[in-house]
Amino acid sequence: MTYAQAGRAALAQAMRADQRVVALGEDVGRGGIFGQYQGLADEFGPARVIDAPISEATIMGAAVGMALAGLKPVVEMRVADFALCAMDELVNQAAKARYMFGGQARVPLVARLPIGIWSGAAAQHGQSFEAWFAHVPGLVVVAPATPQDNFTLLQASLACGDPVVYMEHKELWGLQGEVQAAQPAPLGRARIAREGKDVTLVTWSRALHVALACAQDAAAAGISVEVIDLRTIWPWDREAVLQSAAKTRRLLVVHEAVRAAGFGAEIAATVAEELGIPVRRLGGPRIPVGYSRPLEDEARVSMETIQQALRG
């Protein structure tokens, strides 16, 4: 399956199993701009695959109301950049309801916010906000990197019962891979994507694939890199990261999001505090993503940069 097909299959399976699961957002009735809802409107009809007007605040606000009333909405924001128009509904309403009402009300929604640089889409369509949402109490934050994880983590998010910010990458929709329906991936559990003994490299989302390519090259130079795909940003798998870093005694964190105040800083600080070992982090520069390819490349974390950090 492709990454998009895997997400669609997980959602379709959930909608068949539970009448409370609905999808709403712009273009979902036409299959979504990345094809991740293709065919769902034909199967489930407009009452459960709901095309919405171009108003992110309205879409998210309606979804919060649906969730409080007993439904399990999947909210399509098209790209994470557009979700900034729905921050109050997501951060002040969805995230806080369970706490403010003493557990009497819950908001079991999944907000799909595609992140990352989208080639040729420039500054307003190429941002990664996972650290923003990890900072908000009450939100679960997920960032799948493979078709398998886009299937199983979306299933886990739908079963979570709390609001989930589900961050698929805009440049992974066509990525192909085998998907095993009976291979669960619980939230909060990282995956060792490559075993190694010399340095631990922690990453997530599209950066995983760049990291794995760098680890392969590093092996040719005699450097054994253990690559951890975090998968869930919050809650993050402290135990898996600390166990690996204790073994290798070196940590490198790599993410596409801006390095300044990125979530990599939380991981690096935790490992430094707990283990006292050398840590480094790589992320994007604090600049808007450029439209032209050379400027866009300046905003990316390159293989060369990662390779240099591994050698250092």
By annotation, the residues acting in catalysis are 125
Output DSSP code: residue 290. P
How many CB atoms lie under 10 A from the CB of residue 116?
A: 28
The secondary element (H helix, E strand) that includes residue 51 is strand 49-51
Between CA 107 and CA 308 the distance in angstroms is 44
Q: What is the dihedral of CA 92, 97, 98, 103, to 10 degrees?
A: 150
| C-alpha–C-alpha distance, residues 153 and 183, integer Å | 10
Q: How far apart are CA 61 and CA 55, in angstroms?
A: 10
DSSP state of 159: T
For 49, other C-beta atoms within 10 Å of its C-beta total 26
Strand locations in 66-207 (E): 72-76, 110-112, 140-142, 164-166, 191-194, 199-203
CA 115, CA 101: separation in Å to the nearest integer?
A: 31
DSSP assignment string, 110-139? EEE--BS--TT--TTS----HHHHHTSTT-
Using only C-alpha atoms, the chain has a radius of gyration, in whole angstroms, of 19
